[in-house]
Structure formats: C-alpha cells, structure tokens
Structure 1
Amino acid sequence: MNSKRILVLGIGNILWADEGFGVRCVEALNAGWEFPPQVTVMDGGTQGLYLLPYVQEADCLLVFDAVDYGDEPGQLRVVVGDQVPRFMGVKKMSLHQTGFQEVLMAAELTQKLPAELVLVGVQAEQLEDFGGSLRDIVKAQMVPALNLALDWLEKWGAAGRVRDGLSESITDNALAMDVYESERPPAEVAYRLGDARFLNMESV
C-alpha cells in the first residue's frame, strides 16, 4: 500500500468572486470522488500559517488557487516543484497568498516541506465583487483543473474513485456554491463593490 501522505488544499476567499476558485475546486473534488485514507482534501480558505502543521505532515501537496500572472482570464497553469513558492510570490492578488507563501517558507525552514509540490492555478477575471461568485470563464476551468489533480493523485499512487452517494461537506453547507449563488441578492439590491456612501464624497 502506498504510504505517501497527500494533502490536496484549496485556498482563497469565496466572498471575492474568482478568489474562491481553489475552495470551490476542493469542494467539487470531495463531492465527486473518494480517495485512499492517506489523502486529505481540505478547504484551506485564508488560514495562512494555521495551515503549516498540515503542510509539514504531507509528503505530496497539491494546491488549487486563483492566480494573477498576467494571463488571459480563465487560463490554467500547472506549476511544479520549487517553482511553486516562487510563483505564488511573483504577483499576489491578496493577503492569503502572502500567508500561504509564508507557510511554504516555514515548512522549508523546518525541513518539512513536502517532497512533491503542485499548484493548479487559474487566472482570475474578477476579484472586486464582494459576495460575487466565480465568473463563467473561471468556473469553466474547474473540470479541467480537477482532471489535472486526479492525474497527479494517480501518479502519486492514490487514484480517485467516483463517489457512490453523498459525501460529508468539507465546508459549511450554507456556503455551498449552488446555495451561495441562488440566495445571493442581485447587485442592484446589495451593492457589492464597496460601500456606496463613501464612493462619491464630493457630492456630500
């Protein structure tokens, strides 16, 4: 039996549109597939250094995230090995990436960096939409991203099996993508780009 400890981590913030790509990917992976017991599929959200113990325990780490590398919106990138921390440090979209880069650096300093690192990232289209969901061009890359992840997991000796029946959610059910999108008020009712009271102070 393969004894590699594998961590599949989705990071980001679902409240800021395409920033939620990583979390939505691990939700979908957990809902659709079962894996051997050495695989942990985890919503890392924006937890930063709180993720360090989980990363230190892993032999193989696969991360889903939204990235900004100047690509066309929706373009997928796969970054492997020691390029992962460098890639995440090149152009940060938000504080969560600063936090996760620090996690990787701390794991390396303690000589507990996973032996194998893979980042599956998508170029975001929209981030400035508080309460918004994934844009269509980014959401369309979830299936290709999951297929890439499944290929890596199989390569690591932990092939997924299509899940028979419902899974236990790894995030709060109230934040599941279908619920989140169906219950979201329209932009004209809930202004999502900031507080309108402070955007046009000259008119006050």
Structure 2
Amino acid sequence: MIQNETLILGIGNTLLSDEGAGIHALNILQSRYSNIPELNFLDGGTLSFTLAVWIEDCTNLIVLDSTELKSPAGTVKTFINQDMDHFLGNAKRSAHEVGLLDLMDIARITDNLPEKRALIGIQPDKIGWGMQPTNVVQHALENAVNEAAKLITLWNNININQPQSLITE
C-alpha cells in the first residue's frame, strides 16, 4: 500500500437519476486526477460486502453518495471522521448507508478503519428512472468534486490544480 493512499468510493445507481450522483461525481474526479498515484477510484454501485477489503486497505477514504440531508436539492455536505461515523449511525439516510455503515463497522471491528474518512453527501431532487441527474444535482456535482479535491490536497499533502469545470452551463 502507498502511504497516504486514498480510496475514492462512489456509491449509487446511475439508472435512477439523482440516486447516481455519487458515481457521476466519482467519474468527474477520476477524469481529472487519475494520474495521481496516491488515489484509487472505485465505483461501489449499490454496495456489497466485497468492498470491505478495499476500505480496510486504504489510509484515507472519501465516499461520494446521494444522501438525504434534509436540505434543499443540490445541497452538498461533508462529514469527516467522527462526524461521518455519527451521521451514518444516527439514522437511515439513504438506501445505501445501511450497507456503508456495515462496511465501516467491519473495518472498525478488524481494526482497519481508515485513518481519515469522509462522506460527501449530495441532496437528491428526484429519484426515478433516468440516466442523468436532475439539473440542480448536476450542478451540485462540481461542489462535491471540489470538496473531495480539498480533502485530497489536505490528506495527501499534495497540491492538485483545480481544472476547469466539466459541467457546461
């Protein structure tokens, strides 16, 4: 394992419009920063216990997900370390987070919880059949990507340049 290795885990179902926000944000990040050796990008889909080994093997974890934040659609919130643990354990917030909580518990029980961890949640507008997020969530993806880039810079002690947005107005 590379020291300060960061796993960027996108979660969601891209067949259900805003439900796939985490995967769409992951894809933007990967298109911009795939040349950074400290980063691993993983499409976690709708989660599976097979992801536990990935989580246990990283120093830092950034999870991107469509999350019920009880906020206006398109809101992006970042929960870091204990705030992430508290958020996941407090109440069921999305269809995946029960699984994410289980994965984090496996890492905790095996004493392999990532040293630094964050959940970047994006408040969905609509979840229904569709391959693309709604406009408000599409625009929020840039905020989620910027939040992840800040954490990558801080945690990996590297300077990544912020390239131009891939989202066209």
TM range (shorter): 0.7 to 0.9
Corresponding position of 1:131: 130
CA RMSD for the aligned pairs? 1.8
2:151 corresponds to which letter in structure 1? W
How far apart are residue 7 of structure 1 and its match? Answer: 0.6
Corresponding position of 2:142: 143
Q: Would you say how many aligned residue pairs link Structure 1 and Structure 2? A: 160
Corresponding position of 2:30: 30
Q: Structure 1 runs of 4+ off > 6 angstroms?
A: none
Structure whose alpha-carbon radius of gyration is higher: 1
Summarize the alignment of residues 89-168 of structure 1 with structure 2, pairs less than 5 Å apart: 89=89, 90-94=91-95, 96-127=96-127, 129-156=128-155, 157-160=157-160
Would you say the 8 A contact 1:35–1:160 is kept in 2? no
Corresponding position of 1:175: none
Would you say the 8 A contact 2:76–2:144 is kept in 1? yes
Q: C-alpha distance in 2, partners of 1:113/1:53?
A: 11
Would you say the 8 A contact 2:92–2:98 is kept in 1? no
Corresponding position of 1:44: 44
Name structure 1 gaps, 5 residues minimum. 164-204
Name structure 2 gaps, 5 residues minimum. 164-169
Would you say the 8 A contact 2:11–2:20 is kept in 1? yes
How far apart are residue 161 of structure 1 and its match? Answer: 5.4
What is the DSSP-based 3-state SS (H/G/I as helix, E as strand, rest coil) of the residue aligned with 2:105? helix
Q: C-alpha distance in 2, partners of 1:52/1:159?
A: 29
- Paired-residue identity, %: 25
Q: C-alpha distance in 2, partners of 1:13/1:134?
A: 11
How far apart are residue 132 of structure 1 and its match? Answer: 4.3
